[in-house]
A and B are shown apart, each in its own frame.
Chain A
Amino acid sequence: MNAAPTLSERLAALRRGDYRPADWLAECRAAAERWSVLNAWISAAWAQAERRLVDVQGGGGALAGVPYAHKDLFCTAGLRTTCASRMLAEFVPTYSAHIHERLEAAGALCVGKANMDEFAMGSSNESSHFGAVRNPWDLERVPGGSSGGSAALVAAGVVPFATASDTGGSIRQPAAFCGVTGIKPTYGRVSRHGMVAYASSLDQAGVIARSAADCALVLGVMAGFDPRDATSVDRPVEDYVAALTDLEPRRLRIGVPRQYFGPGVDPAVAAAVQSALDLLVARGVQRIDIDLPHTESAIPCYYVLAPAEASSNLARYDGVRYGHRCAAPTDLEDLYTRSRSEGFGREVQRRILVGTYVLSAGYYDAYYRKAQQVRRLIAGDFARAFEAVDLIAGPTAPTVAFRLGEKQADPLQLYAADVNTVAVNLAGLPAISVPCGFVAGLPVGLQLIAPPFAEARLLAAAHLYQSLTDWHRHAPAVPT
């Protein structure tokens, strides 16, 4: 095993003066070179980061001198933001995402933009216009998605953290597949200003890092009210780092839904998650078996609502104001149609068409309205469960990382793998995936889910688990 240092440890070394930000940046750059086989970058910004080094040196920001990558759907003024789509392959934003402003103000150094599924639609990072990302634990396997580049870069130790977004599992599932920690905060906790929209009632920005303590540090910088995002919640941000150790295991009740260990879950994955729960129980945590009766409706509900919102959000790409435009359009209709057909990849087109269908006259009530009713039932399941438990736990994904190409022929197989993650987005809850073991050399993720705005409890429970285990410190061997 290659023990990987965490961001928190590196920062401590930096503050002691054992280490200089310039060394860290150079180290990241060398690691990026060694791991170029991952195809995890869309754009690099090493030169910009080096120029910023001068500004942050001696600065007291919480992340002064820390290199990081953005998922390539966060706008960065002057730096190409593609959403892994041909549609935005040349798009250079004139403004930056709220979280970019916050991270830069804290002294962090953006070193590039990470690969992802096109418009964040996918669970394997194979829908990117810039090619699939590889899993650092096995280069023939997917890193998960849609934040596959972010997870792969953190797992390989190229960057200590990366930003990510989660609409149906896009932070947690790649974190699980790559053996790193990823938190999807409560809907509204982190501003989405400057984050390219996919499904606006589900999208939330978050972070992938090695440990829960690292996530606590970065989330504390990213979270908070922003008037530019109408869904941003005006509510104080807790001190997540201070709260990490503020947890009495004997007073923690974890609910384990029977439905999260259904027939699609690999028994070896289920066993790893059960061992993790046993370890917490041995520390005094109370385990309670619970039911989330509408779990099996979450996938069909999500695959009505998310495409519906996507078809509406992606209507803005018309080849007129920005983005790809076809050559020599004959009329306006031709301009729209060919620009969109050339600019969007297959999975994006598929979801736009499903969304168009479920919103069209005659089908709206049968699909869209019905799905919104089921959404309330799913949210109600969680609300009832949280009357008796503090957290809910289960496997993040039903299997470990699958092979590249394995699920490309059948979109439904890929959709089905989101079974344990999408309900959390439908209910707008915070959740985290933490590494909890390996099956055949591939990482397994334990998912913990909390009530709205209980990120501090979520991170503290994950930290408790990580103080008892070292799964999050395992790092893959550099390819030869």
Chain B
Amino acid sequence: MSTDPKAPQPLAEVLAFRPPPAEAESYLGDDPAANAELLDNLLAGASEAAGALYDRFAPRVNGLVWRLLGADGDHDDVVQQVFLAILQSAERIRSPEALPAWITQVTVNTVRKEIRRRQRWRWFQAEAAAQPTDHGPDGEDQLLARRFYQVLGRMTPDDQLALSLRYVEGLTLPEVAAACGYSLATAKRRLVRARTRFEKRAQRDFVLAAKLEGWRR
């Protein structure tokens, strides 16, 4: 994505996409007045609501899905599922202030379902146990990320999410708990367990093992 705001944009992009607001806070969807307006539109079934929802939360949802699934090939499908789930459950949002947190939760839940779905399908593949996951980054310059998500892919969905949210997404413990719908104590316990399991598996991967060893020294 171009970082220069003055760089010319393709015409189709200019026509189809409203530029994000200038204020970073509003861009992240934390502006209560704008959230109230958006929620009104969603509840009233206004025809522009879906577009407005996307314009407002696309960066947040995309970033989260991208880092939870690891630059996945089905990224766009999953993002679409997230937005559809939000639209379908809009009436359960109690107040505009809860909208950003709700969106994070729906995103995490949708990704969890997606991971479970993939794991179920791997049961039907004869050599699934020996195979790495069928998703994740594949560029030559993403070796570490690829290995990381391969190891992560062999863990339970809850462990995967807890680790990604905490260490890749960089959330604090209370934020991880809120995003996953856990209590703080459960989140702590789950993270400790996930970390232990990850380190055990990472020792069998020479790239990750070397990296972790290097940091230890």
On whether the two chains bind one another, the answer is: no
* B interface residue numbers (CB < 8 A to A): none
